[in-house]
Structure formats: structure tokens, C-alpha cells
Amino acid sequence: MSNTIIASNFNFPNQKSVYKGKVREVYNINDEELVMIATDRLSAFDVVMPKGIPYKGQILNQIATSMMKATEDLVPNWLTATPDPNVAVGHLCTPFKVEMVIRGYLSGHAAREYKAGKRLLCGVEMPEGMKENDKFPEPIITPATKAEMGDHDEDISREDILKKGIVSEEDYLILEDYTRKLFQRGTEIAASRGLILVDTKYEFGKTKDEKIVLIDEIHTPDSSRYFYAEGYQDRQDNNEAQKQLSKEFVRQWLIANNFQGLEGQTVPEMSDEYIETVSERYIELYENIMGEPFVKADVSDIQKRIEENVLEYLKG
């Protein structure tokens, strides 16, 4: 299908290497800058689904780059240019091997752990007497080790990160500070659009001159969970499910079809009709999170469009 991009195999001038993550493909140009392509791949339970979702890469890239610009006064980031709807270009960075997950509410993975009787998540205590989707007294940081493609991210405590030397204490304090600042700003942006930023994750790296910067995605429906603010409290009081804006709907569909990424399980078949509904949901997510209409890029030949735009940019 030429109207989705599942994988890329470009060979740009001065290209040194390419890294393929679950959703993004990152081209190293001359050990100086990175060209990051957001594909239309869909990942859930750390498994990449066999079919792409039309416009998903564009949606993720445009939300992430816009949110980076909206937070650059608080936290420096890697971004320098966006030459194509699916492409972000920025400084070459060495990523930290942890994802900084921050949760304002007892939802998703935290709620599943809580339901299983756990009150400690990544070394952080969760109060007794909470129910799913309740707000935490204060947002909690629950880091995860960054998995290679196909592996599961794993919860890890601050103590273990420092003990294992994954991140130095000096750097980790900066990561925590940046995480709280970004979450606060994200919460304010969401509130201005009638949304609640429930939880999210941030990734950081170091530039060549040892500066810590925000990298990858920020406040997208793949990295974050949102609720509609209107009716939130009524739904909690009545023990009703919250109206969500995240890819949780995909996870729930997979669970209902007996798939949670566990050994021996096979990914259920996604019909073209279902793929279309997922694409429509992502567009709805974009419009709510960004507070503006989504403008579809030309997808008659995405590979050609991306290659031409990146080459034009690299020419200078």
C-alpha cells in the first residue's frame, strides 16, 4: 500500500547508519544530525502490528514537533527542522537507556499492577484506597528500561538505575526535574483543550557537548494517555469507564481478541475496515490534542515525497 509507510530504506548523502525502532527509523547523517522518520507502524504490548495505520506517522510527528516547540522554553530539545510531515531532524544524541514515565492518575499499567495487589511501582508507593483512574496526590515518576525492538520495556526504580550505573545521580536529578516540568506544561496545554493529561513518557539524550535534551516524541497518543475533562468526576463517582484519548483502545481490542504480547499468542487479524477506524481515531486524537483540524499530507507516494523533502533539506 503506497498510502502508508511501514519501512524505509533510504540512502542519504553522508549517511553513516540507520536505527530502526518500533515506530521510528533514525538516519545518522555524518555523525552530526539525525533524520527521524515516523512510520505508520503500530506497536502495542511492545509488539509491532503487521499492518500500518494511514496518517499515523504524520500525526505523531506533527504533535511531537509542535509540543517540543511549546516546551523549549522549559527544557532544551534535539529538534532543528521538520522538512516533511513525517520527518523531524535534530542533533545527534546519545540516548539515556531509561524512559521517564510520569503518572498523574492510577491508569493503564499502574492500575493493572494496583488491581493485582501491588502498592509499590518502581519503588514509589501508591496510596491505599484508590480506584482505577483516580488522581494521585502528586504525580509519580515510574521509569522503565528502554527495550530493543521486540523486547518488553521493564519497570525499574530510581535506586536500581543509580545502583546499576545506568544514569549518574547528577544526570538523573536533571531528568526528574525536566520530567516534572514537561508534565506540568503538558497538563496546562491539555487543560486548555478540555483534556486531562493522565500519564506520559519522556526520553532524553546527551548532545556531543554533553547537554541533556528531550528527544523522540512528546505528548502524542502513543506516548501519553488523555481523558476528556468534561464529565471526568461524574464518571469516577459513578464507577464508569473514562473517555480516553490514547491508543488504549487498540490495546483493549487486542485484549478482547486474546492478545497481550505474551509467549504463544498470535496477533489477531486486523481487517481493512478496522485499520480505517484506527486511522480515524488517530485523526480525532490529533484534533483534540492540537486544538486544530488535521490536514492530510499527499500519500500517493509517501516514500518518494519523504526522500525528495529530506534531500532538499540536506542540500542546505
Task: Note whether residue 56 is domain-resident.
Answer: yes
161: its cell numbers? 538505575
Q: Residue 219: CB partners within 8 Å, gap ≥ 6?
A: 63, 64, 67, 186, 189, 190, 197, 200, 289
Cα torsion at 59, 185, 245, 78 (round to 10°)?
30
Rounded to whole angstroms, what are the CA distances from 311 to 12, 163, 307?
Answer: 7, 44, 6
Query: Hey, what amino acid is at 289?
Result: I
Task: Assess if residue 65 is contained within a domain.
Answer: yes
Task: Give the pLDDT of residue 1.
Answer: 44
Residues (pLDDT < 70) of the chain are 1-2, 147-152
238 with 148, same domain: the answer is: yes
239-277 residue pLDDT tens: 999 988 878 788 889 999 999 988 899 999 999 999 999
Last-in-domain residue among 193, 213, 245? 245
Cα angle 165, 167, 171; round to 5: 135
The three three-digit cell numbers of residue 89, written as one number: 531532524
Q: Are residues 290 and 178 in the same domain?
A: no
Same domain flag for 146 and 217: yes
- Does residue 61 sit in the same domain as residue 118? no
Counted domains in the chain? 2
Do 187 and 288 sit in the same domain of this protein? no
Does residue 295 lie in a domain region?
yes
Please check whether residues 100 and 238 belong to one and the same domain. Answer: yes
Same domain, 39 and 121: no
Does residue 227 share a domain with residue 116? yes
**Residues 26 and 12: beta-carbon distance below 8 Å:** no
pLDDT score, position 221 = 85
**pLDDT for 248:** 78
Could you tell me if 86 and 106 lie in one domain? no
pLDDT, tens digit, for every residue of 110-140? 999 999 999 999 999 999 999 999 999 999 9
- Kindly give, in sequence order, each residue whose CB lies less than 8 Å from that of residue 112, ignoring residues fewer than 6 positions away: none
The three cell numbers of residue 285 are: 486524537
Amino acid type, 315? K
Residue 60 has a pLDDT of 95
| Strands 94-95, 195-206: pairing kind | antiparallel
